[in-house]
Structure 1
């Protein structure tokens, strides 16, 4: 457990040292929030669907958690390049603990980023239906962060170069985000798109966030938790297996 804590703390320190990274990572969520939240707000309201800012804000928080957690896997490539990974792997600690420490560290960083973006949404005018729902929203943020931090760690374990990691992650992350219902309702979609969105893990994270914060559920609380829990377990197991196969 001490190894998990040390690696978790290392990932946290790596993030908090980079103030530029923290500020720069807010650019994309703020752009989506302003350009879409206010730009499409009148259209959404005329359609009788209420405030688009209220609808989109949980999706923007989910997007921030997704991007931050997935790209935490790039730290493995940095460590491999500078030799720290070799030092870690030869230590008398199981690779399972090393992988868990990294994944939990990346998930914690993603949650911090999500909380910052949530604060930006509040400043922009978003209001949850009840402040008592915040703990449930944080729980869904944590599950989304663990799911995609484990996915990022899995890909970071098998990809050798940074450029390849970024290409593959962008190829995967953008469809995961756009097909999650973060920007549009999941009801009344074509049948093929309904199937695709239902197998997107982020759909259940965004639905959980939106349901907890504004009471608009597409699936249900129980289904969201069950799917995210199952996917997190599967991705952690896969990430642990692939990390254990890293060659020194």
Structure 2
């Protein structure tokens, strides 16, 4: 009699497949929620336009005559993109609080699934939504004096996606530590404002007083904004004095931080925030 041998798939393969399914379910749920709340995306876009053209255009009239033809909108365009990314990322992370209040999160936590896959799905959805929101804003680059160079657009898209990953992980880390939606909105707003204004989004951090400059150097968003501004000024024709005024870079005790290191710091901060969120989920579970 022939004996049939059944070879089962390795546990690691089954576990990987289950984790991917969890990530897909979490991602689809957040995308569906976003599709039913398009007005929020429109409001964020209009807010970015307001900062870029109304605030930027208004304060642009106060720029010195020797600005070399560079508009203020051009200088703050990377910062406005970063602002859009952080607001969308923090807003997307509120889905953790919503899922907790409506019981969906509890169902996921009691299920035999990896906590890492739950956080990965949340981070992925926040990253995707934030990157798409920022990409829409890139369509206005020409109106802000930023050239539509293909390489520049790809650089900005890659940098904003990395920033979206870090900020989404940051928002989820916060969301795992608050109990209600009202608390999350208050805490997130308290965190967003310092992150934005101390990142150099609207003005170079080199022009800040000493103690504010020191705070900006420990702000992860600072190292997300500066590479985007460096990329923009690489394709903008401006005198050296204007570049020094609007694009001084980030310095540690007189040493200019390379862009590659800034990118690594942003990615490392995102991994740290995601790890802290996973640890919190495991503690709750």
TM-score (norm: length of structure 1) = 0.92
Instruction: Note the residue ranges of structure 2 that are not aligned, 5 or more in a row.
Output: 1-19, 235-246, 251-257
Q: Which residue matches 2:170? A: 151
Larger Rg: 2
Q: Does 1:79 align with 2:99?
A: yes
The ranges of structure 1 where at least 4 consecutive aligned residues each deviate by more than 6 angstroms after the TM superposition are none
Q: CA deviation at 1:45?
A: 4.7
1:198 to 210, 217, 227: 217
Distance in 1 between residues matched to 2:41 and 2:124, nearest whole Å: 18
- 1:102-157 Cα offsets, whole Å, 9 max, x none, are 111111111111111222344x3332373312222112111111111111111111
TM-score (norm: length of structure 2) = 0.81
Q: Which structure's relative contact order is higher, taking Cα pairs within 8 Å and 6+ residues apart? A: 1
Q: 1:177·1:202 contact (CA, 8 Å) conserved in 2? A: yes
Q: 1:158·1:246 contact (CA, 8 Å) conserved in 2? A: no
Q: Does 1:233 align with 2:271?
A: yes
**1:16-35 aligned within 5 A:** 16-35=35-54
Q: 1:107·1:145 contact (CA, 8 Å) conserved in 2? A: yes
Q: 1:137·1:212 contact (CA, 8 Å) conserved in 2? A: yes
Higher share of residues assigned helix: 1
After alignment, is 39-48 or 163-172 more displaced?
39-48
Q: Which residue matches 1:89? A: 109
**1:80-159 aligned within 5 A:** 80-122=100-142, 124-128=143-147, 130-159=149-178
Q: 2:196·2:221 contact (CA, 8 Å) conserved in 1? A: yes
Q: CA deviation at 1:35?
A: 2.1
How many residue pairs match? The answer is 246
